[in-house]
């Protein structure tokens, strides 16, 4: 009986604590996004169009700020679109607190420095592009934790080192662009795990070694561009069943051998084939002329 006397008050205390915690979390969540974006603003050293300077202020709602889109349900920041603004600065760790962020684009600015590890908390991200900036350091392995990611573009920056194996855990990835960086090493054979990949751009990245045969097992591929690397070895002789493939860009490498006679047997949608400036020899396979959609052929 004595225990029963404390049951109702204890339940009330638990419920009250839950409500207080819920309200506190909600208040925190409303201000968390604002604080994160104001921290980003503080790390901008040049805003030539005064877009953030005049618009990102604590006197207006975050959801009304330029480049910011909030969700209709939770009223949290879901998209950050800062492309083509001419911004110069760095990315602060606070940006990792945008826990509802799905879309992030910093395309064509002058951001520099490395990507802070705190961004690894953005587990909802589906689209992440920082193309055409001055980011450096190694490509972070934590990008492999963005399991919902569809598009990843790190092109036209100053990233170094090897392609981290963790990227090949991104089973939803549709487009991968690492072009025009200062990478090294080989194209990992694990790339074949990206079974939904349509666009693969690794132009001018400094990669060497052979093209892994696993690339030719990705049936969803439409564009593959490996132009301007130090790739060597021969092309696979097995039948390639990539009916969606439109563009093959292997030019400006050190590929050798003859073109396999059956390489072009099952490429009905091939529109562009770029093989020039390699070390191929022999005849052009007759099957290539069965690719009725072919518009551009570069083999010299």
Residue 34 sits in a domain of what CATH number?
A: 3.80.10.10
Please report, for residues 119, 201, 249, 264, 299, the alpha-carbon distance to residue 259 in angstroms, rounded to integers and kept in the order given: 44, 22, 14, 9, 11
Q: What percent of the chain has pLDDT over 90?
A: 77
**Domains: count for the chain:** 1
- Overall pTM surpassing 0.85 (yes/no): yes
Which residues partner with 159 through β-bridges?
Answer: 137
pLDDT at 229 over 60: yes
Q: From residue 185, give the alpha-carbon distance in Å to each of 166, 247, 253.
A: 15, 24, 14
Per the structure, the complete domain to which residue 142 belongs is given by 2-298
Residue 240: what pLDDT? 66
Per-residue pLDDT for 161 more than 60?
Answer: yes
Confidence of residue 1 (pLDDT cuts 50, 70, 90): very low
Q: Which one is predicted more confidently, 161 or 300?
A: 161
The pLDDT mean for the chain works out to 90
Q: Which residue has the higher pLDDT, 183 or 13?
A: 183
* Banded pLDDT at 193 (limits 50, 70, 90): very high
Per-residue pLDDT tens digits for 4-46: 544 444 444 344 444 333 333 444 475 999 999 999 999 999 9
* Residues 237-252, mean pLDDT to the nearest whole number: 85
In the chain, % helix, strand, coil (3-state, to 5) comes to 30, 20, 50
Q: How far is CA 287 from CA 171, 217, 233, 260, 300, in A?
A: 33, 19, 22, 10, 19
Residue 10: its pLDDT value, please?
42
Close Cβ partners of 28 (under 8 Å, ≥ 6 residues apart): none
CB 135 within 8 A of CB 154: yes
Phi-psi region of 69 (alpha: psi -120 to 50; beta: other; left: phi over 0): beta
Instruction: Give the residue from 81, 137, 82 showing the smallest Cα distance to 110.
Output: 82
The closest of 90, 126, 118, 122 to 106, measured between CA atoms, is 90
Q: How many Å from the N-terminal Cα to the C-terminal Cα in the chain?
A: 94
Q: How far apart are CA 192 and CA 182, in angstroms?
A: 23
Give the model's pLDDT for residue 246.
Answer: 96
Query: Model confidence at 226, in pLDDT bands (50, 70, 90)?
Result: very high
Cβ-contact 199, 222 below 8 angstroms: yes
3-state secondary structure of 231: strand
């Amino acid at each position: 009986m004595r225990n029963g006397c404390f049951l109702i008050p204890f339940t009330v205390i638990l419920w009250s604590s839950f409500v207080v915690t819920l309200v506190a979390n909600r208040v925190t969540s409303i201000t968390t996004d604002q604080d994160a974006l104001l921290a980003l603003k503080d790390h901008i050293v040049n805003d030539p169009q005064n877009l953030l300077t005049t618009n990102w202020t604590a006197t207006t709602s975050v959801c009304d700020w330029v480049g910011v889109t909030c969700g209709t349900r939770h009223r949290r920041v879901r998209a950050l679109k800062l492309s083509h603004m001419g911004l110069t600065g760095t990315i602060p760790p606070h940006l990792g607190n945008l826990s509802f962020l799905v879309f992030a684009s910093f395309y064509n600015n002058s951001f520099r420095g490395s990507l802070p590890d705190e961004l690894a908390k953005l587990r909802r991200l589906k689209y992440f592009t920082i193309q055409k900036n001055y980011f450096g350091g190694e490509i972070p392995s934590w990008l492999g934790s963005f399991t919902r990611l569809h598009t990843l573009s790190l092109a036209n920056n100053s990233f170094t080192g090897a392609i981290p194996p963790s990227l090949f855990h991104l089973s939803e990835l549709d487009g991968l662009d690492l072009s025009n960086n200062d990478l090294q090493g080989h194209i990992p054979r694990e790339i074949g795990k990206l079974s939904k990949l349509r666009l693969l751009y690794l132009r001018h990245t400094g990669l060497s070694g052979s093209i892994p045969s696993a690339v030719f097992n990705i049936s969803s591929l439409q564009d593959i561009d490996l132009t301007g690397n130090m790739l060597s070895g021969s092309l696979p002789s097995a039948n390639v069943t990539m009916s969606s493939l439109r563009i093959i860009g292997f030019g400006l490498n050190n590929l050798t051998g003859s073109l396999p006679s059956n390489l072009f047997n099952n490429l009905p949608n091939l529109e562009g084939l770029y093989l020039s400036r390699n070390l191929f020899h022999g005849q052009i396979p007759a099957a290539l002329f069965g690719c009725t959609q072919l518009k551009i052929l570069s083999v010299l």
